[in-house]
Amino acid sequence: AMEKYPIEKLEGKCIMINDDYELPLEMFSMQEYARETTKSVMIPSGMVKDRIQRLAEKIYETYKDEEELTMFIILNGGDRFFTEVHEYLRNIISITKKGPRLTFEYSKISTYVGDKSTKEVEIPPVREPMIKGKNVLIIEDIYDSGKTLLAVKKHLENLSPKSLRIGLLIHKRNPVNLQYDFLADFIGFCIPN
C-alpha cells in the first residue's frame, strides 16, 4: 500500500483539493474541444484567479519594505502564473504607492536523460547581478517530482541572493517529491497526484 502523503505541513498554506474532488463538466462553460478531452473540473478558473490575487497580496506583504524584487520565472510553465501575479502586484504597488521595484529573469529549464539514464536538469546561464544580493522570488506553476524546482533553488542559492523564496500555483501530492522535505513560501493549491 502507498504511504499517505503528509498533508499536515501543507494545511493553512494552500487550498487543499481532496483526492476524490471533482466538479461535473456540465456545470461549466468551456470550448467544445476542451470538453472532449476533459473528464471533470478540479479547480474552476475564477477560483484560480482569486487565489493568485491572494498570493500576490501575500507576496506584497512580504516585500513591501524592500527596494527591489527579482522575479525568477521558470519557463514554460511559470509564465502564465507569473503574468497574473505580476499584474496584481503592480496594481497593489501603484495603489499603495509603496513596494519594491520589480525586475525579471526568465529561464527555460530543460530536463534530459543523462548517461546513467536518470533525468538531469539543465539550467541555462543566469545573469549573476540579477541574483547576487537581491531578493529573489522563483515563480513556478507546479511542484511535481520536485527535481527541477529544487535544482533551480540550489543553483540560485549558490549565487548569494539576499533572500530566496518560492511562489507556486500548484503543489502536487506526488510521493516522489517527499524525498526533498520542501515547502514553497507561497502556494496556491495542493492537488492529488
pLDDT at 9: 86
- pLDDT, averaged per 10 consecutive residues of the chain (193 residues), comes to 74 91 89 88 93 97 97 84 95 96 89 66 85 96 90 95 97 91 94 92
Give CA–CA dist 46/82, Å, rounded.
17
| Close Cβ partners of 136 (under 8 Å, ≥ 6 residues apart) | 69, 70, 71, 72, 156, 161, 162, 163, 164, 165
Tell me the pTM.
0.89
With 0-12 / 13-18 / 19 or more C-beta atoms within 10 angstroms meaning exposed / middle / buried, residue 180 is middle
pLDDT at 76: 72
Q: Read off the amino acid at residue 94.
A: S
Give CA–CA dist 100/70, Å, rounded.
9
Strands (E), 33-159: 68-75, 101-108, 110-113, 119-122, 135-143
pLDDT at 165: 98
Give CA–CA dist 147/179, Å, rounded.
10
pLDDT at 1: 42
Phi first, then psi: give them for residue 133, nearest 5 degrees. 75, 10
Q: Put residue 148 in one of left, alpha, beta given phi > 0 → left and psi -120 to 50 → alpha.
A: alpha
